[in-house]
Amino acid sequence: MYVLAHAHLPERDKTRHQIVVVQPDEPRLTDCQHLTDLMSLLVAGQAAGLAIALRDGSEVADEVRREAHRHGVPLLAIGPEPAKWMCLHRALTEDHHSRMQRTADLHSQLIEQLRHLGRAEGTQRIVSWLASVSDAEVTLTTARGTTVASAPQSAARGTALARERIAELAAAGRSRSAALDLPDGRQIRLFTIGSASPAPVLAVTCKSFCVEVSAALARVLDLLAARLALEEAERRQSRLQSGEHVVREAVFSLLMAGQVNAAKSAAVGLDPGTLDAGIARTFILKVPPAQRPAIVQQCHDEIGTKAVITACPTYPDRTVILVPSTIGDIEARTLNTLVTHTRTAPDRFLGGSALHTLDETPSAYQDAARALTVAERLPGRVHCYVTEVQLAYVLDQQHASTWARHLLHPLLELPENRREPLLATLRLGLVFPPAVTARMLGTHRNTSARRIAEAATLLGVDLQDIWQRALIGLALQVHAETAHLRPGMDAPVISNILDTPEVRRWAHEFLGRLDADRRHLRETLTAWIRAKTRIEDTAQLTGLNPATVRIHLRSAEELLQRRLLTNTACNMPEGYVVPGAHDLVLAFFVVEGTTLRTACQEALSGSR
């Protein structure tokens, strides 16, 4: 409390948060200009109010009332006894301290809300907190029409009476507020948040909007505006990431379908120049399906947009990373990142391909899958495909090209718009079952199955036969490598093409890897081919237990870098001809005895 001396102006620095006491005969109360100056000084000095010590029966002058109201200065009438002033001073001081403590507590709680602003439940926390500090029902109607309520069970009832007014405020698109009186004596106050249209609307239903409640509301509106802006930014980021995932998967599918130019055009949306290098290495990181979304995003964040990183459209536990090999140190950085992720958990495996041109992406993927098969058998769980000479490269190019064109002639003579989809689907259909092929190409399963059946009919082959699948696969590979050559007039016989020193050397080297195992893997594999890859039939032919046959096949997978066992994750039935069998068929045809050669020859001769 500050008692103003007669005919003196108050000292500004001593009136802060103080009640200034004056006598009723103070000259500054009777002169208009002096009265205005006094009120201005009280406002500037942040005085708590002006108290006039009145004698019995006297009243505060109207001019003083008007001027105090105009300046917003609280006005008190007190008795002339100083002892009562002290009692008033103590009461006001205690009340002021109490209000300051409540304000401090409010600010402390607001800071606590700020700490949780970025959490998923941030909006619900703010709404519930406002309801608790104001003893009110609080409902936030978002711009999307959803509601966040302090008491969800009463949310509909609380906003039902104000539904039309909420809709009007939301549509206004600028900061507005409104108040509605309820029959039970409570009041609903509505506040729009932000300036967008439609705008979120906060509804607070309370019996009394005291100073503390109003202060809490003023600050919560800013807090909710920040939280809702953060949610919108998160939604936009999520949409952007989803769009990028779709584009990366589309780029991969286009490359698998051999549409390199279309893939390059699509990749421009990710990062211009990503596929300009023309050659790339493909990695497959295998993780549990539940971990894959996080791994895809982590790899993207750590490696960047210069690599094409996508969830494999076929296998739920595979992430595909296609890395251009001539862009800075991207290849080394990618390998280090992928190895680090693989080492962090025992259920992760990594396989990498050799370098391939972009139009050889299906081969690169197959290389990486072969390496992954080996990695699953190694303690380190990481393996990169060991480059090997392919059979197509050791054949006489001219004769092989003529043979391949003759075999594929019914397909190659089709118009381009029909030929290319059939070739792309058949090329993958020899490696994957129809459902998997469809996911790789981004087509319907029935479409892939129909294309494969149509191609088989045109070629006059039975793609359920292991020998004929191997033959068609070799022809497609030869044609891809020798399309630039001019074919000869007479088509050579496949047995003659395979009967050369170079081919025999390739077959012996390929099958020679099996000799690293002391078990009779060759006999098991020969029987497995005769049994058309059926485990039970192989066991009968060899006299082995089916479990032993599988063990032999797993050992051969590691040595040959070929997938020989079917993958149950893709629902492939036993007996499905897995692609690793194709090279085995041709290698055994070259080096094995007459029985296998006769069976193979019959199938091959039936297909030209």
Where residue 230 falls among pLDDT bands split at 50, 70, 90? confident
185 with 216, same domain: the answer is yes
199 inside domain:
yes
Per the prediction, the chain carries an average pLDDT of 79
Question: Are the beta carbons of 407 and 608 closer than 8 angstroms?
Answer: yes
How many Å apart are CA 409 and CA 461, to the nearest integer?
Answer: 13
Domain holding 139: CATH number?
3.30.450.190
What contacts 423, CB < 8 A, 6 or more positions away?
258, 411, 455, 476
Same domain? For 310 and 226 the reply is: no
Residue 547 has pLDDT above 70, yes or no: yes
Q: What is the reported pLDDT for 428?
A: 85
Higher-pLDDT residue of 57, 308: 308
Q: What is the pLDDT of residue 286?
A: 93
Domain annotation covers residue 170: yes
Structure tokens at 357: 């041109």
339 occurs within a structural domain:
yes
Give yes or no for residue 427 having a pLDDT over 80: yes
Q: Token pair of 271, please?
A: 């990062």
| Residue where a domain terminates, one of 333, 357, 387 | 387
DSSP 381: -
Query: Rounded CA gap, 459 and 410, in Å?
Result: 6
Q: For residues 361 and 543, what is the distance between their CA atoms, to the nearest angstrom?
A: 41
Is residue 211 located within the same domain as residue 288?
A: no
Can you give the pLDDT at residue 100? 64
Contacting residues for 286 by C-beta, under 8 A, at least 6 apart: 315, 317, 318, 319, 348, 349, 350, 351, 372, 375, 376
What percent of the chain has pLDDT above 70? 80
Whether residues 145 and 43 fall in one domain:
no
Query: Is residue 11 a part of any domain in this protein?
Result: yes
The number of folded domains in the chain is 4
Report the alpha-carbon distance of residue 310 to residue 315 in Å, rounded: 12
Six token digits for residue 413: 């003579």
R_g over Cα of the chain = 41
Do 80 and 133 lie in one domain? The reply is: no
pLDDT of residue 363: 85
The reported pLDDT for the residue numbered 142 is 76
Q: In this structure, is residue 255 part of a structural domain?
A: no
Evaluate whether residue 415 is within a structural domain: no
- Could you report the per-residue pLDDT of 134-150, keeping only the tens digit for each? 777 778 777 776 777 76
**Phi, psi for 11 (deg, rounded to 5):** -80, 120
pLDDT(575) > 70: no
Tell me which of 372, 387, 402 is where a domain ends: 387
Q: Identify the CA nearest to 2 among candidates 18, 16, 23, 17.
A: 18
Write down the pLDDT at residue 594.
Answer: 47
End-to-end C-alpha distance for the chain, whole angstroms: 113
Q: Write the CA distances from 135 to 138, 208, 216, integer angstroms.
A: 9, 9, 12
Closest CA to 408 of 496, 495, 474, 359: 474
Q: Residue 397 domain-assigned?
A: no
Residues 296 and 211 in one domain: no
78 φ, ψ to 5°?
-125, 165
The domain boundary, picked from 387, 410, 440, lies at 387
Whether residue 69 sits in one domain with residue 149: no
Q: Are residues 159 and 209 in the same domain?
A: yes
- The pLDDT confidence band at residue 173, using thresholds 50, 70 and 90, is low
Concatenated DSSP letters of 248-261: HHHHHHHHHTT-HH
208 plus 284 within the same structural domain: no
Which residues lie below 8 Å from residue 110, measured CB to CB, with a gap of 6+? 219, 220, 223
Say whether both 352 and 309 belong to one domain. yes
Give this prediction's pTM. Answer: 0.58
**Cβ neighbours of residue 4 closer than 8 Å, sequence gap 6 or more:** 10, 20, 21, 22, 26
pLDDT at 212 exceeding the cut of 80: no
Cα 142 to Cα 193: distance, rounded to the nearest angstrom: 9
Q: Among 407-411, 466-470, 567-571, whose mean pLDDT is lowest?
A: 567-571
Mean pLDDT throughout 360-389? 84
The domain in which residue 192 lies consists of 116-232
Q: How many CB atoms lie within 10 A of CB 464?
A: 12
Please say if the pLDDT value at position 287 is more than 90: yes
Question: Do 282 and 367 form a contact (C-beta atoms < 8 A)?
Answer: yes
The strand pairing partners of 177, in sequence order, are 191
Judge whether 77 lies within some domain: yes
User: What is the pLDDT, as a whole number, of residue 356?
Assistant: 86
Residue 379: give its domain's CATH number: 3.30.70.270
3 state SS of 589: helix
Q: Are residues 195 and 145 in the same domain?
A: yes
| 154 and 208 together in one domain | yes
Quote the CA–CA distance of 536 and 363 in Å, as a whole number.
31
Q: Tens digit of pLDDT for each residue in 253-279? A: 888 888 888 888 888 877 777 787 788
Cβ atoms of 382 and 350 within 8 Å: the answer is yes
